[in-house]
Structure formats: structure tokens, C-alpha cells
């Protein structure tokens, strides 16, 4: 149920979002294992805050452009479009573009530009190395 909710939230971002003003900080490595730590969804009144994730879902970026893990179970490939945008391509060929912010230990994904603030915050999982 929780996975279905996160998948639905990601799908909604495809249709309800607009460009974020977040930027990458430095030239950090995306490849590796990331664990969902927090989520952000604003109800439209500015009261949204980052909340602890209800499930520690994994997002694994391969150096070859592959994606694995249960955070986006249908995603198969990723492509950095530029320093702030990334595309996830799914098993059926559909894709979603996300705005991302990357530091050494934190990856934040926002929809293709949410009308209201929304996002997924992942922490680098160093136990997988």
C-alpha cells in the first residue's frame, strides 16, 4: 500500500508539476544506492514540510544508466539531461523528467515542476558499498 502511494505520488508529479529552482551543489556522483529518507507534499496552503519516509525504499543508479530498486519499480533507465534535470524511462517506454539537487550525501527529486512544493529526499546508502 505504501509503495503504491509513492508510485501514485510520482505519477501525479508527471501531470501536476512545473520547474523547481533547486540546483546541484558540486560535481557529485549519482551512481550508487540511495535510500528514501523524507517526502514533501504541500496541500496548497504553504504548510508542507519534509516528513520522514514511511518506508526506506531504495533507488540504485548504475554507472551504465540503469535503475533498480523499489522506489521506482518500473523505471529501467536514467539520463542526466543537464545539471538540474534527469529523465527516468520506464519498462513501457514512458518517461518522467525530474528536477534534481545532488550533494555528496543527499539527492532531492522534484516533479517536472510542482505547482505546490513536493519532493523525495534520498540519502546515500554507504552500507551498500
Residues in a beta bridge with 24: none
Give the least confident one: 17-26, 44-53, 55-64, 108-117.
17-26
- pLDDT category at 112 given cuts 50, 70, 90 is low
Average pLDDT in the chain: 80
Instruction: Give the per-residue pLDDT at 116.
Output: 77
Could you tell me the CA-to-CA distances from 114 to 24, 38, 60, 98 in Å, in that order? 18, 17, 24, 10
What is the tens place of the pLDDT at every residue in 47-75?
A: 889 999 999 899 999 999 999 999 999 99
Q: Which residues lie closer than 8 Å to 98 by C-beta, 6 or more apart?
A: 13, 85, 86, 87, 88, 109, 110, 111, 112
pTM: 0.73
What is the tens place of the pLDDT at every residue in 95-106?
A: 999 999 998 899
Choice between 115 and 29, residue whose per-residue pLDDT is larger: 29
Give the least confident one: 8-17, 22-31, 48-57, 97-106.
8-17
Q: Which segments of the chain are extended strands (E)?
A: 32-41, 51-52, 58-61, 67-68, 75-80, 85-90, 95-102, 106-110, 118-124
User: Averaged over 8-36, what is the pLDDT?
Assistant: 55
- What domains, with CATH codes, occur in the chain? 2-128 (2.40.128)
Residues in a beta bridge with 67: 61
Amino acid at each position: 500500500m505504501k509503495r503504491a502511494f509513492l508510485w501514485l505520488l510520482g505519477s501525479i508529479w508527471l501531470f501536476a508539476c512545473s520547474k523547481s529552482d533547486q540546483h546541484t551543489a558540486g560535481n557529485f556522483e549519482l551512481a550508487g544506492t540511495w535510500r528514501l529518507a523524507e517526502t514533501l507534499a504541500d496541500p496548497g496552503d504553504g504548510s508542507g514540510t519534509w516528513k520522514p519516509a514511511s518506508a526506506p525504499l531504495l533507488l540504485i543508479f548504475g554507472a551504465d544508466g540503469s535503475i533498480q530498486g523499489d522506489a521506482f519499480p518500473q523505471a529501467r533507465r536514467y539520463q542526466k539531461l543537464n545539471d538540474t534535470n534527469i529523465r527516468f524511462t520506464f519498462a513501457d517506454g514512458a518517461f518522467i523528467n525530474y528536477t534534481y539537487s545532488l550533494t555528496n550525501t543527499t539527492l532531492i527529486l522534484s516533479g517536472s515542476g510542482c505547482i505546490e512544493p513536493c519532493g523525495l529526499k534520498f540519502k546515500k546508502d554507504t552500507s551498500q558499498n
